[in-house]
Amino acid sequence: MLGAAGRRAGTAEQVRVDVHNIRMRRRNRLNAARRALAKRSDVILTAVTGATSGMMGASNSSHERDTPPTPRDQEHTVTTSSSNRIAPIEYRVFTATRPGINPDLPAGYESLAWVANSATLIHGTRDAVLVDTFFTLEHSGQLADQIAATGKSLTHIYITHAHGDHFFGINTLKARFPSVRAVAPASVVERIQTRLEADTQLLRARFPGQIPDDPGVPDSLDGASIELEGQSLIPIETGFTDSADSTSLHVPSIGLIAAGDVVYNGIHPFLAETNGQTRLEWIDALDKLDALEPRAVVAGHKIPDNDDDPGNIAATRTYLRDFIRLEQTTDTPRALFDAMIELYPDRANPGSLWGGAIAAKSPAGNP
């Protein structure tokens, strides 16, 4: 039914049932389920409340799923204790599912051409800090409703990196929560300024009528951390990952990392802005997050129903290593795309991989 799969169909028709065929059947089931999801992809907003206790050892099923992503809602409470205080800290992950940015990809992969953004609300008994926003007017309005429903006082919005899909909801949220401050490290703010115009045009072209006239930009964060009811939320500068000057936000007291786009969970990483050198820097960034020994890692793009398993750090690293290796052994974007799809048939948003394969095979792709 599709490019790479069509090529594999001859194998599937053989009497011999092997691992390859099993993967094809899994993929077909998954595609059928996701096709239904993608049809309503512009209106899906889900929330999952998480806690870092019990996350250890949770299965990482990000790219070997049999079940479609379905909304779910779980409640957990973590009590974090230190020598002189006990403060309950929880986090809630909101996801908004939408079509991928890159509408151009090889035929046959339409059912996977969706992606979900995450926004993580970290909160105590009274206050809350949001990590990243959504970007369409509709999703931002829904996110504001969800935050308001928690009854928490939103003090800060932390922006992890300069891609518009992570911060274009700032002004929509400010309209609903007038005292909130949107902040990011100075490097992120500077990077936003250099690319804001181009990113705005790109998103407006892809999502006409859905992008705010004035999305808002974050202020430079004063100090090294954001305080939430006596606990520190610490920006981790991760350098070049899926874009320049990316960061993650670490909450040491509960072992949480809101990773931004340093980590992907069940979604093809965005590689179109990377090159041979920066892909290695991205791996270094993943090592940096691993060294923090997190108990939960929220990817900036995740399958809504997937756990926020720290194993997604290693899974992203493996993906990048596979891409680096296969980039060197293939001659064309299509060959690289097909080779990666063989390894990652179930990841959502293959348009992201296609854009990355084209960039990698362009003359400037690998200086």
Applying CB under 5 A, the residues found at the interface with Zn ion are 163, 165, 261
**Closer of 92 and 302 to Zn ion (Cβ):** 302
Of 133, 190, 176, 177, the closest CA to residue 158 belongs to 133
Is the Cβ–Cβ distance between 135 and 117 less than 8 Å?
yes
CB of 29 to Zn ion, least distance (A): 28
CB nearer to Zn ion: give 123 or 163: 163
Contact 121, 156 (CB under 8 A): no
In the complex, least distance from residue 261 CB atom to Zn ion, rounded to whole angstroms: 4
Alpha helix segments (H runs only) across the chain: 3-12, 19-39, 137-150, 170-176, 186-206, 276-291, 311-329, 333-343, 350-361
Comparison of 124 and 304: residue with beta carbon closer to Zn ion:
304
DSSP string for residues in 222-289: PSS-EEETTEEEEEEEEESSSSTTEEEEEEGGGTEEEEEEEEEESB----TT--HHHHHHHHHHHHHH
Q: Tell me the one-letter amino acid at 267.
A: I
Residue among 335 and 359 whose Cβ is closer to Zn ion: 359
Question: Element (H or E) spanning 46, and its range?
Answer: strand 44-50
Minimum distance from residue 218 beta carbon to Zn ion (Å): 15
Q: What is the DSSP letter of 86?
A: E
Element (H, E) at 119: strand 114-123
> Closest approach of Cβ 357 to Zn ion, in Å?
18
Nearer to Zn ion, 165 or 199 (CB): 165
Minimum CB–partner distance for residue 115 and Zn ion (Å): 8
Compute the least distance from the CB of residue 62 to Zn ion, in Å: 16
- 163 or 279: CB nearest Zn ion: 163
CA 131 – CA 49 distance, rounded (Å): 14
Maximum CA pair distance of the chain?
67
Of 270 and 344, the one with the shorter C-beta distance to Zn ion is 270
Compute the least distance from the CB of residue 300 to Zn ion, in Å.
5
